[in-house]
């Protein structure tokens, strides 16, 4: 069963789908999703975004304990700038000719040996009767907490690279497989306090299974001694929640610059 969600911006879309998983897990499961222990998986999401916009002050360092190399690695893995320049030339040619419709596709690379090929393609599209171009992204799979907002920013930067920074761009994203773990979703507390988000259930109503695991993970990794953690992914969670001397990594500083 397909789930369609619509948001004003890509920032709101990231917030919305994360809160959809944490607050409406029964709907995720009813639509064909599955709980695997501390993992919640949903299928066949269509996310419509009226304007591509990630908050320039969104701090990937504070949120996810990311360093700049994470962005550099993402760009280097997925984008061949020679290819993107060819797509840009074709799009701008259609724009100069005032074409009422076009669909020009960019196929993402996967050049790293450790790359997972989560981004498949991005179509630059104009549709009859619509005022603004729309970027249509197809993904293989998406981890919705750490990676999805990163992917939103990458797509926004690609749109700016092709059309210019001040052009209004909409977006549609197809997520055939969207997932998060309780530990990873606990990191969302750095953006919006889970205590406030879960307030109705914290008052006495039993929490749904996944939400309870998110809350338990938040309480655990907010205080755990980091030296006792064996797994890198869980150490990242603890560092983000405890937020001790993490250098900022703001969205506004993450550019799309050819090598």
pLDDT of res. 110: 82
| Residue 9, both tokens | 């911006």
Q: Is residue 174 assigned to a domain?
A: yes
Does 256 fall in a domain? no
Nearest 10 degrees: Cα torsion 189, 225, 234, 218: -30
Q: Strands (DSSP E) along the chain, which ranges?
A: 3-9, 34-36, 39-51, 102-107, 119-126, 134-139, 142-143, 170-181
Judge whether 155 lies within some domain.
yes
φ/ψ region of 65 (left if φ > 0, alpha if ψ in -120 to 50, else beta) reads: left
Token reading at 10: 């890509």
Alpha-carbon gap, residue 124 to 173, rounded angstroms: 12
> 243 lies in a domain?
yes
Residue 126, beta-bridge partner list:
102
Q: Which domain holds residue 100?
A: 3-251
**What is the structure's pLDDT at 117?**
79
CA quadruple 64, 84, 174, 18: dihedral, nearest 10:
20
CATH of the domain at 139: 3.30.572
Q: What is the pLDDT of residues 194-204, one digit of tens each?
A: 999 998 665 66
Within a domain: 258: no
Question: In this predicted model, what pLDDT tens digit does every residue of 154-169 receive, in sequence order?
Answer: 999 999 999 999 899 9
Q: How far apart are CA 182 and CA 26, in angstroms?
A: 15
pLDDT at 112: 61
Residue 55 placed within a domain: yes
Identify whether 140 is part of a domain.
Answer: yes
Give the HSE-up count for residue 245: Cα atoms under 13 Å, Cβ half-sphere: 0
**Token pair in block for residue 178:** 């969207």
Do residues 179 and 40 make contact, with C-beta atoms less than 8 angstroms apart? yes
221 closest CA partner among 204, 205, 245, 240 = 240
Query: Can you give the pLDDT at residue 204?
Result: 66
Report the sign of the C-alpha dihedral through residues 52, 44, 194, 119, in that order: negative
pTM of the model: 0.94
Into how many domains does the chain fold? 1
Any domain includes 17: yes
Q: What is the CA radius of gyration of the chain?
A: 19
pLDDT in tens, the chain (259 residues): 899 999 999 999 999 999 999 999 999 999 999 999 899 999 999 999 999 999 999 999 999 989 999 999 999 999 999 999 999 999 999 999 999 999 999 999 987 655 567 999 999 999 999 999 999 999 999 999 999 999 999 999 999 999 999 899 999 999 999 999 999 999 999 999 999 999 866 566 788 999 999 999 999 999 999 999 999 999 999 999 998 888 999 999 999 988 7
pLDDT at 78: 94
* pLDDT of res. 239: 92
């Amino acid at each position: 069963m397909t789930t369609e969600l619509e948001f004003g911006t890509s920032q709101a879309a990231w917030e919305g789908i994360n809160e959809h998983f944490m607050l409406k897990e029964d709907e995720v499961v009813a639509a064909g999703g599955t709980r695997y222990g501390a993992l919640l998986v949903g299928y066949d999401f269509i996310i419509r975004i009226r304007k591509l916009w990630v908050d320039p002050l969104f701090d990937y360092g504070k949120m996810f304990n990311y360093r700049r190399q994470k962005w550099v690695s993402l760009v280097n893995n997925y984008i061949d700038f020679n290819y993107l320049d060819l797509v840009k030339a074709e799009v701008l040619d259609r724009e100069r000719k005032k074409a009422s419709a076009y669909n020009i596709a960019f196929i993402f690379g996967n050049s790293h040996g450790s790359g997972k090929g989560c981004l498949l393609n991005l179509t630059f599209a104009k549709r009859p009767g619509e005022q603004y171009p729309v970027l249509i992204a197809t993904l293989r799979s998406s981890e919705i907490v750490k990676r999805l907002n990163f992917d939103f920013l990458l797509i926004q930067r690609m749109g700016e690279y092709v059309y210019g920074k001040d052009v209004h761009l909409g977006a549609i994203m197809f997520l055939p497989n969207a997932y998060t773990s309780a530990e990873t979703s606990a990191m969302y507390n750095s953006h919006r306090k889970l205590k406030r988000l879960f307030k109705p259930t914290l008052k006495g109503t039993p929490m749904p299974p996944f939400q309870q695991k998110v809350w338990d993970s938040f309480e655990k990794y907010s205080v755990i001694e980091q030296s006792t953690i064996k797994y890198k992914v869980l150490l990242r969670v603890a560092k983000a929640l405890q937020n001790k001397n993490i250098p900022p990594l703001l969205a506004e500083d993450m550019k799309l610059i050819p090598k």
